[in-house]
């Protein structure tokens, strides 16, 4: 039995679907059974509860042999760093006496030690906590999610603009959530000795200009990149409904991506989904 935390999100559901198609038994952890209806129809079991409930989560882990760990994103209207670090604490405590033989965790390119820099620092803490416990841990550092461009569809359709926190020519590793899910499923199925960090990205690297070109092709209208000035980043996040703490954290994460050379791993796991094909799926 494979236990999937975050199984109703894009990456977690892709992990679950990949395993189910291979005839594996899957339990999806969710706070709302209705959100897992499609996976249940596909053959998954559900464990309904809060991952902060350590006894519930440990009991769920004890019902399986391996687990996929994804730190669910916190509501950006609150203190995302504090909420997500509390998730890390609960997940790692629940691993104690769980009897699992292997875990696979979702992390991110650029993960580093520190405080209040979004996923970069929260997921680094998760990595470190997993290194300090005895269960073999495979860590997949995922590239920038192609799904982050979903919010660009409406302005692209309405006025041909692509707001971007990144310079239009900044090429970044990007990956489709489905490819991240398939890569995680493969590591769940592999031997416990397949542990440590691997990187997962798409077939090639892309810039916001490539995103604009893909949107233009799919929508049948010109689309231009409109970079958001650095001094406006926090206010822009707050306009999206982010709290002051979350806006500052996400601005820090954005600055790190812009200011530092992207990691170039020797042998990344490469997904098959091209950016243009992913944008086409979004626009359906």
- Give the pLDDT confidence of 115-152 residue by residue, as tens digits: 999 999 999 999 999 999 999 999 999 999 999 999 99
Question: In this model, does residue 23 exceed pLDDT 90?
Answer: yes
Q: Could you read off the pLDDT of 158-180 as tens digits, one per residue? A: 999 999 999 999 999 999 999 99
Is the pLDDT assigned to residue 254 strictly greater than 90? Answer: yes
Distance CA 15, CA 8 (A): 10
List strands edge to edge, sheet with 144-145.
144-145, 172-175, 205-206
> In this predicted structure, what is the pLDDT of residue 266?
87
> What does the block give as tokens for 10?
């894009």
Residue 264's pLDDT is what?
82
CA distances from 125 to 76, 87, 117, 133 (A): 20, 11, 12, 13
Nearest Cα neighbor of 122 from 165, 78, 73, 174 is 73
Q: Quick one: average pLDDT of 78-107?
A: 97
222 pLDDT tier (thresholds 50, 70, 90):
very high
> How far apart are alpha carbons 107 and 110 in whole angstroms?
9
pLDDT for position 283: 87
pLDDT at residue 263 above 90? no
pLDDT of 181 over the 90 cut: yes
Residues 260 and 183: their CA atoms lie apart, in Å, by 26
Of 162, 177, 158, nearest to 12 by C-alpha is: 177
pLDDT band at 16 (very low <50, low <70, confident <90, very high): very high
Cα 6 from Cα 1, distance rounded (Å) = 16
Q: How confident is the model at residue 262 (pLDDT cuts 50, 70, 90)?
A: confident
Domain ranges of the chain: 2-144+174-201
Topology, domain 2-144+174-201? Rossmann fold (3.40.50)
| For range 184-201, the mean pLDDT | 97
């Amino acid at each position: 039995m494979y236990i999937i935390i975050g199984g109703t999100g894009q990456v977690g559901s892709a992990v679950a679907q990949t395993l189910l198609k291979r005839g594996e038994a899957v339990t999806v952890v969710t706070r709302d059974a209705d959100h897992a209806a499609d996976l249940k129809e596909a053959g998954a079991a559900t464990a309904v509860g809060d991952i902060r409930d350590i006894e519930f989560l440990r009991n769920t882990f004890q019902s399986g042999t391996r687990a996929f760990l994804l730190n669910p994103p916190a509501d950006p209207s609150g203190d995302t760093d504090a909420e997500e670090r509390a998730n890390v604490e609960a997940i790692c405590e629940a691993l104690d006496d769980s009897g699992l033989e292997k875990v696979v965790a979702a992390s991110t390119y650029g993960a580093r030690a520190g405080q209040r820099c979004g996923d970069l620092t929260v997921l680094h803490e998760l990595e470190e906590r997993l290194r300090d416990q005895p269960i073999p841990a495979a860590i997949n550092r995922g590239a920038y999610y192609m799904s982050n461009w979903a919010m660009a569809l409406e302005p692209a359709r309405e006025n041909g603009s692509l707001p971007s926190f990144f310079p239009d020519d900044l090429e970044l590793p990007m990956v489709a959530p489905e490819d991240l899910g398939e890569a995680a499923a493969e590591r769940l199925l592999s031997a416990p000795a397949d542990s440590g960090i691997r990187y997962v990205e798409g077939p090639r690297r892309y810039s916001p200009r490539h995103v604009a070109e893909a949107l233009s092709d799919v929508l049948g209208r010109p689309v231009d990149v409109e970079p958001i000035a650095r001094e406006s980043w926090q206010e822009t996040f707050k306009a999206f409904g982010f709290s002051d703490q979350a806006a500052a954290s996400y601005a820090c994460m954005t600055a790190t991506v812009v200011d530092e050379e992207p990691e170039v791993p020797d042998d990344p796991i490469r997904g098959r989904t091209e950016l243009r094909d992913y944008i086409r799926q979004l626009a359906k």
